[in-house]
Amino acid sequence: MSRKCVPCREELGLLIMRTATMIRRKADSNVYMNKVHKITGSNGWILGYLAEHEDEDVYQKDIEEKFCVTRSTVSKVLKGMESKGLLRRESVSSDARLKRLVLTEEGREINNNALAERKELENRIRKGLSDEEFDTLMRLLRKVAYNMHEE
């Protein structure tokens, strides 16, 4: 880690923000996703979520909640992914306002090909952590996320 990447003070919020930025940069540099298909790591995580939930109805609201992002941000991201042919929005007969998000064959293929790089990123994040340390970290980060979710 270079000196410029080490926080100068041990503030938890700053450390989490910097770590998240480094993870996002690494995810966005995913060779297969970025260089071949011109999509970001965030798009890849959305593709992964849709692939994992293909047997369920997934809507924009689900993406907003899962990734803790605003409606306008998700709308913009989904529109871009739709224009690239990675997903489509299908009307729901019970409510014309709802649009179910469905992976296209291309989106499914890109997700399948990018799985290895996402697993490699996850392994890099976990590197040097015992299972117990990892479980503790996850538990503590969930608490922090819950604290930030409170109004």
CATH number, residue 16 = 1.10.10.10
CA-based end-to-end distance of the chain: 35
In a domain, 67, yes or no: yes
Give the integer Cα–Cα distance in Å for 18 and 82: 30
Segments forming the whole domain that contains residue 118: 11-149
Rounded to an integer, the average pLDDT of 136-151 is 89
Confirm whether 47 is domain-assigned.
Answer: yes
* 110 part of a folded domain: yes
> Is 5 a member of any domain?
no
Distance CA 75, CA 128 (A): 37
Domain count, the chain: 1
User: Minimum mean pLDDT among 29-33, 129-133, 143-147: which range?
Assistant: 29-33
In a domain, 6, yes or no: no
The alpha-helical segments, DSSP class H, found in 84-130 are: 105-126
The answer to whether 122 touches 134, Cβ cutoff 8 Å, is no
Cα separation of 38 and 117, whole Å? 15
**pLDDT value at residue 8:** 57
